[in-house]
C-alpha cells in the first residue's frame, strides 16, 4: 500500500463530516440551529390586505399599461422595419420579450407606492414597523446633507 492510500484510509476513519483542523481527533464545531427570525412569521389580516392591494394595483396600474405599450412599440418597430422579424418564429420572440420587460418595469416602478402603503400599517404590525424602520434608516431626512 502506498503512502497516499494509507493517508486516504486514515482520513476516512477519522472524518467527522467537517473540515476540522486536526484529522487525528474528532474536532467538529457544535451544531447550531440557525433560523431567520421571521421564518415562521404569520401575516396579520391587515398586512395580507395591504400586500394583496399592492399586487393588484401594481398589475393593473403599471404592469398592464407598460406591457401593452412596450409590445405595441415593438410591433410597430418590426412592421416599419426598424427591427427584424425572426425567420422562424416571426414577431413572437420580440413581442414576448417586450411584454416581459413591461411587466418587470411595472412591478419595479410601483415599489415606492407599495413601500408607502406598508409603512401606513398600524403600529401593531411587525411588517409595518420593519418598513418604517428601514425607511427611516435609508431615506435622507429633510434638511440634512449626506
Q: What is the mean pLDDT of each run of 10 residues along the chain (146 residues)?
A: 52 50 58 69 89 95 96 94 88 94 96 92 88 84 64
Residues with Cβ within 8 Å of residue 119, at least 6 apart in sequence: 128, 131, 132, 135
d(Cα 10, Cα 25) in Å, to the nearest integer?
11
**pLDDT for 40:** 77
Burial class (CB in 10 A: 0-12, 13-18, 19+), 128: buried
Query: What local confidence, expressed as pLDDT, does residue 37 receive?
Result: 66
Contact predicate 27/21, CB 8 Å: yes
Task: Identify the DSSP state of 84.
Answer: P
What is the end-to-end Cα distance of the chain in Å, rounded?
68
Contact 94/79 with Cβ under 8 angstroms? no
* Residue whose cell numbers read 440634512: 144
Q: What is the pTM of this model?
A: 0.66
Residue extents of the structural domains in the chain: 1-34, 45-138
Task: Report the pLDDT value the prediction gives residue 127, as an integer from 0 to 100.
Answer: 87
Radius of gyration, alpha carbons of the chain: 28
If we measure between CA atoms, which residue out of 66, 105, 91, 104 comes closest to residue 82?
91
CB atoms within 10 A of CB 133: 11
Amino acid at each position: 500500500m502506498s503512502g497516499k492510500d494509507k493517508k486516504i484510509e486514515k482520513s476516512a476513519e477519522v472524518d467527522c463530516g467537517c473540515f476540522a483542523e486536526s484529522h487525528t481527533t474528532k474536532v467538529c464545531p457544535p451544531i447550531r440551529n440557525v433560523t431567520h427570525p421571521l421564518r415562521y412569521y404569520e401575516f396579520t389580516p391587515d398586512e395580507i390586505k395591504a400586500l394583496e392591494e399592492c399586487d393588484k394595483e401594481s398589475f393593473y396600474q403599471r404592469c398592464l399599461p407598460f406591457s401593452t405599450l412596450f409590445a405595441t412599440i415593438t410591433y410597430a418597430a418590426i412592421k416599419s422595419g426598424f427591427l427584424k422579424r425572426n425567420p422562424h418564429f416571426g414577431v413572437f420572440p420580440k413581442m414576448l420579450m417586450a411584454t416581459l420587460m413591461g411587466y418587470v418595469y411595472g412591478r419595479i416602478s410601483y415599489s415606492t407606492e407599495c413601500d408607502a402603503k406598508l409603512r401606513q400599517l398600524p403600529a401593531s404590525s411587525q411588517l409595518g414597523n420593519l418598513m418604517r424602520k428601514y425607511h427611516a434608516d435609508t431615506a435622507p431626512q429633510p434638511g440634512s446633507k449626506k
